Structure 1
Amino acid sequence: MNSPAGAKIFLACGYTDMRKQIDGLAQLVDQSFKLNPFDNTFFLFCGRRCDRIKALYWDGDGFVLMYKRLDGKSSYQWPRSAEAVRELTPQQYRWLMEGLTIDQKKVIAKRSAGRII
């Protein structure tokens, strides 16, 4: 599931009622998270089972609702913290989609080219 180019990515921490459809998820974004669901933003939701997620996105003339269910025993490493919503970097989104936690303990730092001794 690819996020739209240039879109911000927000993740709803904790559990979301996966019976909610477009209107219910847009209302959750607006009222609970105090964010505008019509912005260029990709919103991610997960229920109690961590093998399926929903994504909500406004593409300019309507909402797009995406649903992804993993096969087998795979699951997403979904944060269950008390934070209501969390903004993700593109790298954190890739980690999430690859089954990794978005809070990596250690990441190799990027370095600029230096002098060779």
Structure 2
Amino acid sequence: MAYIAQDVLRQKPASGAVFAFHGRCGDRIKLLYCDGQGFYLYCKVLERGRFTWPSVADGTTCLTSAQLAMLWEGMAGAALTGACHRLGLAKLSI
């Protein structure tokens, strides 16, 4: 995951940003975060439904902390299309 963030997304994985990845079916999400001492990988699989992703032009987008929380909880996403603050949230199909 850190390799994808660095080489594909051209971001520093140890920058303190949160990177989000999803599977092809859209029912899985992985969040990668580095706190300066090590990496954390959080994974979640929905039993029913799919995660609603915001529209993405170049493979990346940024979300507010509230939008990230909504995405993690699997909430449907009209609010995910709002203005963004730089959290470094990146979306990439894996």
Superposition TM-score, scaled by structure 2 size: 0.71
Aligned pair 1:56/2:32, yes or no? yes
SS in 2 for 1:28: helix
Residues 53-102 of structure 1: per-residue CA shift (max 9 Å, x gap): 1111112221111111112x222102464321111111221332342221
Runs (5+) with no aligned partner, structure 1: 1-24, 105-117
Distance 1:35 1:65 in 2: 17
Matches of residues 61-72 of structure 1 in structure 2 within 5 Å? Answer: 61-71=37-47
Question: How many pairs align?
Answer: 79
Larger radius of gyration: 1
Structure 2 counterpart of 1:82: 57
* Off by >3 Å, runs of 4+ in structure 1: 79-82
User: What corresponds to 2:81 in structure 1?
Assistant: 103
- Aligned to 1:88, the other structure's residue is in SS state coil
Any conservation in 1 of the 2:18–2:31 contact (CA below 8 Å)? yes
What's 1:93 paired with? 68
Structure 2, unaligned runs of 5 or more: 83-94
User: Equivalent residue for 1:17?
Assistant: none
The alignment's TM-score, normalised by the length of structure 1, stands at 0.59
Shift of 1:35: 1.1
What is the alpha-carbon distance in structure 2 between the residues aligned to residue 57 and residue 80 of structure 1?
A: 22
